[in-house]
Amino acid sequence: MRFGKTFAAYQLAKTMGWKKVLVLTFKPAVQSAWEDDLKLHLDFEGWQFISPGGLAYEVADKTKPIVCFGSFQDYLGKNKSTGGIKTKNEWVHTTNWDCVILDEYHYGAWRESAKELFEAEEKQEIEFGEGIGIEAFDEEIMPITTNAYLYLSGTPFRAIASGEFIEEQIFNWTYSDEQRAKRDWQGNNNPYAALPRMVLLTYQMPDDIQNIAMQGEFNEFDLNIFFSAKGNGENATFTYKNEVQKWLNLIRGAAFETMLDNLKLGAKKPPMPFSDTRLLHVVSHTFWFLPSVAACHAMRNLLAERQNSFYHDYRIIVAAGISAGIVAAALLPVLEAMENPLITKTITLSCGKLTTGVTVKPWTGIFMLRNSSTPETYFQAAFRVQSPWTVNNPDSTSPNREQIIKKECYVFDFAPNRALRQIADYSCRLNVGESNPEKKVEEFISFLPVLAYDGSSMKQIDAAGILDMAMSGTTATLLARRWESALLVNVDNGTLQRLMNNPEAMEALTNIEGFRTLNQDIETIINKSEAVKKAKKEANDKEVTQQEKKQLSDEEKEYKSKRKLIQEKLIKFATRVPVFMYLTDYRERTLKDVITQLEPKLFKKVTGLTVKDFELLVSLNVFNSALMNDAVYKFKRYEDASLSYMGINKHEGEDIGLYETVITASEHQVVFENRPHEV
């Protein structure tokens, strides 16, 4: 439930015959949405809207329906002096309400994720992000009487997943439902016609730009690093200013590195936001979501520089930092800058403000220029641009005519893998009525097409492609890097001690190049780490001389260095396993069976270890078999997807093998494909 949730709530109230409705919210900023939907719709003529600063309950006509709007902080807050209910709000507690609506409910169940939207802002903005008055909310002992409760949320992931509500209590009206209703409407006066379709365009940065900011689990392009900045106000500047300038050139189609490719592609060249005529005329007003206040100021400063004359036609608004104000205060400069939005052009820069609880109709595109770890934060911001924008009486001679200005809206993302994982997460977690994740994603992207630019061409991605990229990254290279993870090997003292106590295992490892001095290294690590630990414990009871401190430090550095060296050598061995998987033809049994029964000579040749030696090391927990299972699965999914792309499916209907486990194809659907967000 996103667009129109307030109107839907009012329609429900009318259908149920409710005359007294109390709306409580964690987000006071949504008051205008509730008020406008009630006052501007003919269906609710005669209904009264009571709010702080508006119509007072005392003067309202009690014979007519009333909707009372307020925050938890106000209506449930207590007097600081006496601890009792605020006198001015006693009527709220003495009235028996037909229904209490808890709006933006995810802020109660989603407090930690809410912080992410505002983490770059000041303390007051962070508190607003968490939900004003949240500390006053306790559903079990709420001192208000009502016949019914209605919980509203635009991103109800946590509430649904936690089992807080049973299936019969949940009604979902998602973006997909909305667009389907728009498509299937028969006849004239389609009430959904003004709701724009969203399009996600993802762009892979050129190598010379993205290489400076490769981080994270998948060694992906990190937007927070790329757009990192320092300084305040007019002195703010980007850490990688030259690269950000290249990015500004890129999005207006002026990047030198891509000019030759564009000439080769001709009419098929990818649509850049500020160069393609299909986009340029519709993205006159855009929202740029950046990682910090400093980044917002740095972007404004860079856009104002002489070489960026193209952007001088746009009015730049910085909605970030203390000076921008909160909610309505931050929104006002945006609306003032737009004046007549059909004529003007604006760019709004923010790192948290205006990403929830506000509607700016002329925004047609959002640039996702910061990391976001959850679909809640991603789509709370992304759906800012999906509000309808219409103009009544467009030619001044047709008072009953309404012209739709915004037929499509756009999300521009420059971290493709991250964006596709969010799509997979969002569609799989919201659609509780479908069990097949591919069908969930397929339905969602039928209304929100996803186009990806890989550096040479832009293509639409299907559901299977999105799931594959969400699961494994984009390339075999990224996939192979999972085998370089330090988590695959254990070099703690306990494991090393077990290894040293097993002569057979020690002999096996010393036969591998680089492990010649393994026994001595392990002894050094164990002895010195234990000695340092003991010395530090004893140092708590006495003074330590500078010489003793230096000795402790040197010994600590020595054993840590040797431990890291052993870890790196074991990881190097682990990276040979996917090489073996490429070479062997027996991929659909367990990897363990392939090693032990079918290709032992090949395994020895590729890895340098015999099958028996490798099994022994796994039994000693030198290699983490559980994580190897996970890495094998991702490898298989990528490999099978490649074969399917060529029209080959040699494994259809077969069981799927991991390292030491086999699961059926149906179990694979449940265990893995229903949980892409956990990868």
Same structural domain for residues 44 and 95? Answer: yes
Q: Is residue 340 part of a domain?
A: yes
Share of the chain above pLDDT 70, in %: 67
Domain interval for residue 588: 576-679
β partners of residue 23: 69, 101
Judge whether residue 650 has pLDDT over 50. Answer: no
Same structural domain for residues 435 and 563? Answer: no
pLDDT tens readout for residues 315-374: 999 999 888 877 667 889 999 999 999 999 999 999 888 887 678 999 999 999 998 767
pLDDT of residue 675: 34
The H-or-E segment that residue 371 falls in is none
Give phi and psi for 373, each to the nearest 5. -90, -15
Same structural domain for residues 539 and 567? Answer: yes
Same structural domain for residues 671 and 522? Answer: no
Q: Which of 574, 596, 627 is the last residue of a domain?
A: 574
Judge whether residue 83 has pLDDT over 60. Answer: no
pLDDT band at 302 (very low <50, low <70, confident <90, very high): very high
Q: Which of 474, 500, 530 is the last residue of a domain?
A: 474
Q: Which of 529, 554, 574 is the last residue of a domain?
A: 574
Q: Which of 184-188, 235-239, 651-655 has the highest mean pLDDT?
A: 235-239
- Least confident range from 39-53, 409-423, 460-474, 611-625: namely 460-474
pLDDT band at 406 (very low <50, low <70, confident <90, very high): very high
Same structural domain for residues 91 and 217? Answer: no
Q: Is residue 513 part of a domain?
A: yes
Same structural domain for residues 227 and 328? Answer: yes
Give SS3 for 390.
strand
Same structural domain for residues 444 and 508? Answer: no
Q: What is the CATH number of the domain that holds 57?
A: 3.40.50
pLDDT of residue 235: 95
Q: Is residue 438 part of a domain?
A: yes
- Check if the beta carbon of residue 338 is closer than 8 Å to that of residue 346: yes
Cα separations in angstroms, 100 against 6, 121, 148, 152, 192: 13, 32, 6, 11, 28
Q: Is residue 182 part of a domain?
A: no
Would you list the DSSP string of 464-530?
Answer: HHHHHHHHH-SSHHHHHGGGG-GGGB--SHHHHHHHHT-HHHHHHHHTSTT-TTHHHHHHHHHHHHH
- Least confident range from 198-202, 462-466, 472-476, 550-554: namely 472-476
pLDDT band at 312 (very low <50, low <70, confident <90, very high): very high
- Least confident range from 47-56, 169-178, 639-648: namely 639-648
User: Among 311, 315, 357, 310, which residue's Cα sits nearest to residue 334?
Assistant: 315
Q: Is residue 482 part of a domain?
A: no
Judge whether residue 178 has pLDDT over 70. Answer: yes
Same structural domain for residues 236 and 361? Answer: yes
State how many domains the chain has. Answer: 4
Q: Is residue 76 part of a domain?
A: yes
pTM of the model: 0.63
Same structural domain for residues 628 and 583? Answer: yes
Sign of torsion over alpha carbons 243, 249, 252, 253: negative
Share of the chain above pLDDT 90, in %: 19
- Least confident range from 27-41, 129-143, 258-272, 347-361: namely 129-143
Q: What does the buried/exposed string (b/e) look like for 544-582 if buried means 16 or more CB atoms within 10 Å of the residue's CB?
A: eeeeeeeebeebbeebeebbebbeebbbebbbebbebbe
Same structural domain for residues 256 and 378? Answer: yes
Same structural domain for residues 403 and 292? Answer: yes
pLDDT band at 601 (very low <50, low <70, confident <90, very high): confident
Of the two residues 89 and 16, the one the predictor is more confident about is 16
pLDDT of residue 589: 46
pLDDT of residue 244: 94
Same structural domain for residues 530 and 674? Answer: no
Q: Is residue 189 part of a domain?
A: no
pLDDT tens readout for residues 534-583: 776 665 445 557 777 777 777 778 778 888 888 888 888 777 777 777 77
